[in-house]
């Protein structure tokens, strides 16, 4: 199978859906001739014209608000917010309007819109351009939230999001845009609400999303050399959440590490932990579930501090080692 970059996969998804459905159009800052801040929409304005690839003013409230209005009257807009930090500026339109309209109108109104946005740290963009705000929007009934980790899923989930009749927020990590992976040339979608087991294991479950998936897979390779078999689950979809896949894995391994880039306090890792301990998996646990997350600080500009602020491969390896040590102590203590 051919390999393309994550950015190319997103661009293919947009182009294919625009060719398939004339109601699909794009809007956002500098997405036309410039091709977007990360070059994802390069070439699309030449094919589809300025009426369907619309450069907007620098106003996230206007971008998301226009998308809501267009969706309600039958279009299928895909809005790009240049950095996920600035979803905050369009939060009223997204949280109070898009998420609630279908409910408030008794199902008579649908809001089939997508908001794409680059997220996360690692590019030296500092505190106002490097946040991971997924949890904010996971909390809102009526919104769907996805965070693809591979080029395959970046294309398949975006196509599914565009076809969905509900508002979907797609978080695309900046560090993933240049990564390559296999992507079919044939038509396909990836279902929203279904996790993927990226690596089978027997000793510990690592639940990850976005850029933490490749880091977890690299950590699992190192752990295998030490005789620790880690199972890596890529959530892909944060809301709706595939609890069944997570629970089944933890029932098998008896241990779990939940890893995400967003800071730990009130992060979505707590929701995953709650899901595990409120399920039948609790009776299979050999050690407490461990959350591994970003530090409770704004993302620094300094490269060394920026790296230290969020989990890295070494941190995931050590977290899994710690769980193995903890479970041995629990078993010994129980026997005593």
Which one, of 215, 193, 318, lies nearest residue 260 by Cα? Answer: 215
The structure tokens listed for 284 are 């299979």
Catalytic residue among 129, 152, 173, 260: 129
pTM: 0.95
Hey, which residues does 53 pair with through a beta bridge? Answer: 26
Question: pLDDT-derived band of residue 335, with 50, 70 and 90 as boundaries?
Answer: very low
Residue 15's region, left for phi above 0, alpha for psi from -120 to 50, else beta, is: alpha
In this predicted structure, the answer to whether residue 328 has a pLDDT above a threshold of 80 is no
Residue 336 — pLDDT band, cuts 50, 70, 90?
very low
Instruction: Name the nearest CA neighbour of 161 among 19, 5, 3, 24.
Output: 24
* Cis before 151? omega within 30: no
The pLDDT confidence band at residue 326, using thresholds 50, 70 and 90, is confident
Q: Tell how far CA 232 is from the center of its chain.
A: 15
What CATH architecture does domain 3-182 belong to? 3-Layer(aba) Sandwich (3.40)
Tokens of residue 271, six digits: 């929701």
Architecture of domain 196-335: 3-Layer(aba) Sandwich (3.40)
Catalytic residue check, 139 = no
* Tokens coding 118: 């680059």
pLDDT at 327: 76
Residue 332 has pLDDT above 50, yes or no: no
pLDDT tens readout for residues 77-117 = 999 999 999 999 999 999 999 999 999 999 999 999 999 99
Decide whether 3-182 matches 196-335 in CATH topology. Answer: yes
pLDDT category at 330 given cuts 50, 70, 90 is low
């Amino acid at each position: 199978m051919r390999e393309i970059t994550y950015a190319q996969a997103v661009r293919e998804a947009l182009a294919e859906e625009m060719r398939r459905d004339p109601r699909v159009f794009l809007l956002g800052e500098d997405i036309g001739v410039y091709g977007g801040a990360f070059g994802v929409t390069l070439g699309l304005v030449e094919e589809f014209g300025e009426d369907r690839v619309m450069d907007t003013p620098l106003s996230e409230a206007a971008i998301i608000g226009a998308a809501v209005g267009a969706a309600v009257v039958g279009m299928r807009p895909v809005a790009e917010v240049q950095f996920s930090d600035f979803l905050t500026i369009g939060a009223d339109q997204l949280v109070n309007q898009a998420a609630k309209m279908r409910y408030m109108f008794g199902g008579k109104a649908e809001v089939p819109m997508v908001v794409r946005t680059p997220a996360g740290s690692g590019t030296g963009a500092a505190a106002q351009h490097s946040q991971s705000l997924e949890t904010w929007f996971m909390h809102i009934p009526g919104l769907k939230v996805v965070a693809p980790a591979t080029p395959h899923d970046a294309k398949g989930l975006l196509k599914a999001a565009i076809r969905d009749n509900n508002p979907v927020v797609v978080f695309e990590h900046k560090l993933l845009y240049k990564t390559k992976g296999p992507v079919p040339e044939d038509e396909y979608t990836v279902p929203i609400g279904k996790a993927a087991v990226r690596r089978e294991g027997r000793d510990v479950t690592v639940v990850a999303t976005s850029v933490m998936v490749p880091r977890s897979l690299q950590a699992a390779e190192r752990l295998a050399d030490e005789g620790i078999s880690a199972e890596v689950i890529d959530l892909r979809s944060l809301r709706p959440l595939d609890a069944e896949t997570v629970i089944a894995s933890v029932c098998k391994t008896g241990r779990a590490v939940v890893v995400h880039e967003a800071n730990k306090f009130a992060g979505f890792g707590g929701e995953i932990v709650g899901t595990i301990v409120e399920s039948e998996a609790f009776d299979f646990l050999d050690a407490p579930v461990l959350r591994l997350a970003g530090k409770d600080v704004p993302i620094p500009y300094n490269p060394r501090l920026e790296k230290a602020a969020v989990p890295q491969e070494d941190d995931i390896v050590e977290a899994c080692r710690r769980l193995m040590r903890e479970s041995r102590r629990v078993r010994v203590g129980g026997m005593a």
